[in-house]
Amino acid sequence: MDKKRILIVEDHALLRAGLKALLSGDTDIEIVGEAENGRDAVRLTGTLDPDLVLTDLSMAGMNGIESIVDIKRYYPDVRVLVLTIHKTDEYIFAAMRAGANGYILKDASHDELRIAIRSVLNGKTYLSPDISAKVINGYLDTDKSSGPNSAWDTLTHREREVLKLVAEGNTNKFIADYFCLSVKTVEKHRSNLMKKLDLHNASMMTAYAIERGLVSN
């Protein structure tokens, strides 16, 4: 039987090594690669062709939420399982809206992780039991086109990337160089962000980015 190919995305080297050691004993799966940030995760998904991406959410550069969006956009058949410490509504909803197929917490047992991986690989959605039914039902019942998330949903992918970099304290010049854009284009993105989100300065943008899980406080 062909082994299922897994890409591990985690910014802590010791945790990556631990996950690889835990899963290497399973004869029906193969760890085909490791990434320490979302940008590498998207790139390696394209080159390594994994069946499943096991990813954290909080990472420098492109985070897990952003990488899930890109992975699902360019490689829709690849399954994505989030493995994280975050159990708040904000992170769960953001991950599932981005396209994650499962969400499991880092304090889960090895057995639960194996169950989650196999469930997601088999086309099912897996959510950690520690995530309350109220939160799950709240997500499933939410009208995605309305409510407090509607402003966020209007942002383009590039605007979200700019928001993250602004919240990390980077200048317009740095952001422009990072994306190979003009400073004027970055200023336009910032202006659009502030208008769409009704935010009036960089501090408010940073606070909003923290709430959305784009950066940690």
Q: What is the CATH T-level fold of the domain 4-141, as seen in this structure?
A: Rossmann fold (3.40.50)
The reported pLDDT for the residue numbered 165 is 87
- Strand segments (E) across 10-105: 29-35, 52-55, 79-84, 102-105
What is the mean predicted confidence (pLDDT) over 115-125? 93
What is the mean predicted confidence (pLDDT) over 51-66? 89
The reported pLDDT for the residue numbered 145 is 41
For residue 65, pLDDT beyond 60: yes
Domain boundaries, the chain: 4-141, 150-211
Domains 4-141 and 150-211 share a fold: no
The reported pLDDT for the residue numbered 147 is 46
What is the mean predicted confidence (pLDDT) over 163-187? 89
Mean of all residue pLDDT scores within the chain: 86
For the stretch 26-29, contacts whose Cβ atoms lie closer than 8 Å and that sit 24 or more positions apart, written own/partner, are: 26/114, 27/3, 28/1, 28/3, 28/4, 29/3, 29/4, 29/5, 29/117
The reported pLDDT for the residue numbered 93 is 80
For residue 92, pLDDT beyond 80: yes
For residue 172, pLDDT beyond 50: yes
Query: What's the distance, CA 61 to chain centroid?
Result: 12
What is the mean predicted confidence (pLDDT) over 119-145? 71
Q: Looking at domain 150-211, which of 1.10.10.10, 3.30.160.620, 3.40.50.300, 1.20.1250.10 is its CATH number? A: 1.10.10.10
